[in-house]
Amino acid sequence: EGAVKSTKYHLRRSVGHAKLTYCELNTMLAQVEATLNSRPITPMSESPDDFQSLTPAHFLIGDSLVAAPDSDLRAVNVNRLSHWQLVQQLYQHFWSRWSREYLSSLQQRTKWQ
């Protein structure tokens, strides 16, 4: 429930008042879904050389979701982007916001003694 709340918050902040078509919104949501299903749950082995981790995608499709990173479009002016690049830019804004929050939630916090 907390993950859903966080996702909705960052999705609203990323998309904002952008006017997306049904197809563009559907593409954006599919990318967000793939991102959430690719988040690490636990390491697959104890070896520090093994960077693979168990993800929700392993339970859904039996393997991890891997995609090649796109070029960074966050600094490009919106009126210079095609429809596909606009969706990619919105997704990159979502990713940067969500990943910062997710990584900080994974850090161990100790209480003051």
Residue 78 lies in a domain: yes
Residue 75 lies in a domain: yes
Residue 88 lies in a domain: yes
Which tokens is 93 given? 């804004």
Total domain count for the chain?
A: 1
Please, are residues 24 and 83 in contact by the beta-carbon 8 Å criterion? yes
Residue 112 lies in a domain: no
Residue 70 lies in a domain: yes
Q: What are phi and psi of 54, to 5 degrees?
A: -75, 130
Residue 62 lies in a domain: yes
Residue with tokens 């939630």: 105
pLDDT above 80: residue 8: yes
| Average pLDDT of span 15-33 | 88
- Distance in angstroms (rounded) separating the CA atoms of residues 61 and 37: 10
Which tokens is 19 given? 């006017």
Residue 55 lies in a domain: yes
Residue ranges making up the domain that contains 56: 2-106
| Average pLDDT of span 16-43 | 86
Q: Which residues contact 93 (CB under 8 A, 6 or more apart)?
A: 13, 14, 74
Nearest to 34 by CA among 6, 1, 3, 67: 67
Look at 46 and 64; give whichever has higher pLDDT: 46
Residue 40 lies in a domain: yes
| Average pLDDT of span 28-36 | 86
pTM comes to 0.66
pLDDT in tens, 50-75: 777 888 877 877 777 766 567 787 77
pLDDT band at 22 (very low <50, low <70, confident <90, very high): very high
